[in-house]
């Protein structure tokens, strides 16, 4: 059983125990859609749909793609498969999962503002990302940290980028790679074969 599998499954079950969210998952499994399009299809206001999407994204069931000021969502196939796997292993889960003490000395060493350090403490354990935050303000802190893992003036293959991100969050490295590009921390060739640290991220 995966580390924190029980807690993650509980979070997933709580999140999808809502008819509107299940409807959104079905729609996003069909194709990528914007918030406005989803609001029209499910008959809810855009703020309500955005709230539901944030919850789904927090547990890794949907991903976000930025295109200018537009936000597009799709089902996260990796997260969905992980959910299915956890359900099939439900009888193997221990009664209580032990969580070791986290060594956060690396966080203090960054010397960042306290608010940003608190975000890292909240979302990491022993240097690994435990959950991708749904709120953009916190996500930007996580991406800022992940950008420090890449060297300036060096190009990376997609496989190398994936390996670096998998070391920090194996469950959904694809979304993190996309977010690093969308929010300007990494740049890439149009073909997606080569990546490099953006100038603003290396300063």
The reply to whether 144 and 186 lie within a common domain is yes
Final residue belonging to a domain, choices 97, 118, 138: 97
Residue 118 sits in the same domain as residue 175? yes
Residue 20 sits in the same domain as residue 84:
yes
Q: Which residue, chain included where needed, has tokens 């354990």?
A: 125
Concatenated DSSP letters of 83-123: HHHHHHTGGG--SS---PPP--HHHHHT---HHHHHHHHHH
**103 belongs to a structural domain:** no
User: Residue 4 has what pLDDT?
Assistant: 47
Q: Are residues 114 and 187 in the same domain?
A: yes
pLDDT, position 41:
95
| 38 in Cβ contact with 27 (< 8 Å) | yes
Judgement on whether residues 164 and 126 belong to the same structural domain of the protein? yes
Same domain, 73 and 14: yes
The answer to whether residues 11 and 87 belong to one domain is: yes
Domain containing residue 117: CATH number: 1.10.10
| pLDDT of the residue at 107 | 93
Q: What is the pLDDT of residue 182?
A: 87
Q: Could you say which residues of the chain have pLDDT below 50?
A: 1-4
Segment (H or E) for 187: strand 186-188
Q: Is residue 27 part of a domain?
A: yes
Identify the pLDDT of residue 59: 83
pLDDT at 84: 87
Residue 74 shares a structural domain with residue 40: yes
pTM over 0.85: no
Q: Which of 18, 21, 47 is nearest to 35 (CA)?
A: 47
- CA-closest candidate to residue 138, choices 126, 122, 149, 125: 122
Whether 48 and 92 map to the same domain: the answer is yes
Cβ–Cβ under 8 Å, residues 18 and 52: yes
Helical axes 136-147 vs 114-123, angle rounded to 10°: 90
State which residues form the domain around 198.
Answer: 110-203
């Amino acid at each position: 059983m995966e580390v924190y599998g029980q807690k993650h499954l509980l979070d997933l079950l709580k999140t999808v125990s809502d008819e509107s969210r299940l409807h959104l998952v079905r729609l996003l499994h069909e194709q990528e859609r914007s918030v406005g399009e989803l609001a029209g299809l499910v008959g809810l206001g855009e703020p309500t749909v955005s709230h539901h999407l944030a919850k789904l994204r927090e547990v890794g069931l949907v991903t976000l793609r930025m295109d200018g000021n537009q936000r597009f969502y799709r089902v996260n196939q990796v997260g969905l498969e992980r959910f299915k796997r956890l359900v099939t292993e439900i009888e193997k889960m221990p009664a209580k999962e032990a969580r070791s003490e986290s060594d956060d000395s690396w966080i203090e060493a960054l010397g960042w503002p306290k608010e940003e350090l608190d975000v890292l403490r909240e979302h990491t354990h022993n240097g690994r990302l435990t959950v991708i935050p749904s709120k953009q303000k916190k996500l930007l802190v996580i991406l800022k940290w992940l950008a420090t893992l890449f060297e300036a003036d060096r190009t990376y293959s997609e496989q190398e980028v994936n390996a670096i991100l998998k070391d920090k969050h194996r469950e959904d490295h694809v979304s993190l790679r996309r977010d690093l590009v969308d929010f300007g921390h990494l740049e890439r060739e149009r073909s997606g074969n080569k990546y490099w640290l953006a100038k603003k991220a290396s300063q």
